[in-house]
Structure 1
């Protein structure tokens, strides 16, 4: 046997083995000549067309396998076999095909093949190889998965809407309580003005008791609301874990609502509402501060935390509105030791001073044009420092309207206010002065330049001197 005959024998043996192997493949494999006629196919293609290989060989694959895209018949020049032979490139695409009066989805991969062997029987060296796979079931499974995802999305949207409505209801109740609190402050000022201090103490105590009931109701509901939101956020995280690549529609909605921001901001909102209910209680108690400061527990605290919590409650007033520019808060904090103080009372001082600073800036903006507001950077600066080993200092400065020199000496007097009737009772700074000077043994001073701004300086000792500390 010559070497050539031996090589041919080996080649035929190899081809026979390949034939057996390819006959077990589920995908349809077809080999065409340069004219797109079927030269060879595996058993899967025979089963697909329900015809023997002898009946398939020599047929044009374009004619034998008419393909559609979106229900429209594909032209011959766009058929995968034509693309493979003309472009001499590989590719893969999904097409529709009508089989047994039903449309199926075929995933077709094609490649250009060029054979330059002396063992070939013809000189037809250019050919194409196509692999056909029925992906109808996979597409159907994907469609059902999309329906499930859509259903889950709707459930999440519904639950989010319910939580939003519950949150709105709580906010409305909080606003009603705030309105009631304002009315109580006005009543307090009138009673003090008519020298009914003793009656005022009893009145405030009774009303504070009545306000505590709805405040407790809100606090209790906030706990459930927090639980519901945590469950919902955990559900969303679980969904993202098992479906990290959602369908396009879900991804668009997630980007639109900024789902990552919601996941981080929801807990902050709940915390601010919790702080708000706590502050309502503190504000009710502070109504009696000017006439009789209740004894409270003295604690060593970080003053910065009190300032930051107050700024958080006032955050809505710092944002840009139609009437006022955004107010920038500059925190120039230095390291401070823990300070012994009446925490609630000191926070009330921060609230009064910061609220007045915001009012002064808004009043100045009301006098300016839009361009002047745009050119003017509204800001509040808060500086903290250590005076010495026994004292700390907090400076709160704004660039608002400022206080005329003629009335600066009256700002700490009870009932003195420059605000319209119904907006201020004239008790805020008087109570603040008493909290700092009498309750904490500190100093509260004011320096202001009309048209430039106002600066309040608070100095308090790091330790309150108690009566039992005296020798």
Structure 2
């Protein structure tokens, strides 16, 4: 037998092994093993049937063991998947808890969104995690916060789809279709710089809408380099999106509250300033009433004194004339009279008394003018309009402000022949007094010696009719444009309240514009030649009142 010959040969060469062959039409196994001590080999022939009969229980045991092993492997895989899901869920809950804590701690929307996309990218092993706002007018997305894997370029900016009707972008994102977003200009005009694009491949990204109470639609994007958007991954994104919607709404609410608090603080500050203004206005009103009362009390006796001085001057003149006549007709008086004339120095007295009376008359007349000006200035609550000469009112104010003018400030008056104006004289006096006080303060703050205030009056023609124009200019410091725009606003002042002495230019504006239907403007040149600076106009207030 050829097969037996092969086995015999192996046994001769003292090989060890098991061979399967056929012997007498029976499949048998032949096991052979050399005996080193005897230098020969033995072989054992066993029918195949006998061995397989003995191995059948072993096959059954192996099959059962394999079944248990497969069950154990599947259980382990399920346990690992459950562990992974629980781990992701736990990390998601931890991230949501941190998000809630940040909202409670700072309500800083930039910090909340940036940290959220970074943690979301790390949690789900993403290439990118982006949050952006959807602009329905241009069918575009404005990406503002982004997490991207190291080595990837950023994709912040405004992106839009190249084709499709308006609103098609949102529908394609909801269906998770492949979309190529290309960068557009920030203002949706001409592109600036090198344009970039963002490819969103199907089953490799998820876009979850974030609905806020501000009716602004946001989107949370998650992009991966693997198959993405499984149910549990979308569940994580939706949970984060819901928390972000709450955080955004609370952040906007916080901003609104802060704006309202800021507005409330400004209102309270204005109320405090208003209270101080009212207190000073009430004080000025009381002082005005007192001044008017004092003026009335002084007016009567000073008029009596002024009238008496006129008669006294005439009487003393008559007496002096009689003395001169006596001296002329009786040149040699009695010794006693001559001694008395020499003692009193009759010549000096006769010359000095008229001068004293003239001085008294001048002083009394000035007092009368001051009292009259004070009475006119105190008439702030005019009930009826009356025709008045506004130039006389300005002169009365200058007389009252003479103590502030001194000799350092020259006042140049260029008056025209004006008609009487139908107005509330007391209110106009208050307005002109406030402008003149500001002009005096301005020139006093100047470092130049030539301090000047120029007052001009004229008749001007406008499309609306004829106006009396009063210009009050000074060569003090110029007024910056930003102050000129606000100079007539209520409560606006460049002075401290401790130095507040007038009604304010806002009240002047109300008196001129609202009460009298006129206009008031301020002009202050921005540039002046240095050589003409001392004579240049620092600021000029022009009041125009309609002639009725």
TMscore range, shorter length: 0.3 to 0.5
Which is higher, the Rg of structure 1 or of structure 2? 2
Normalised to the residue count of structure 1, the TM-score between the two structures is 0.45
Normalised to the residue count of structure 2, the TM-score between the two structures is 0.40
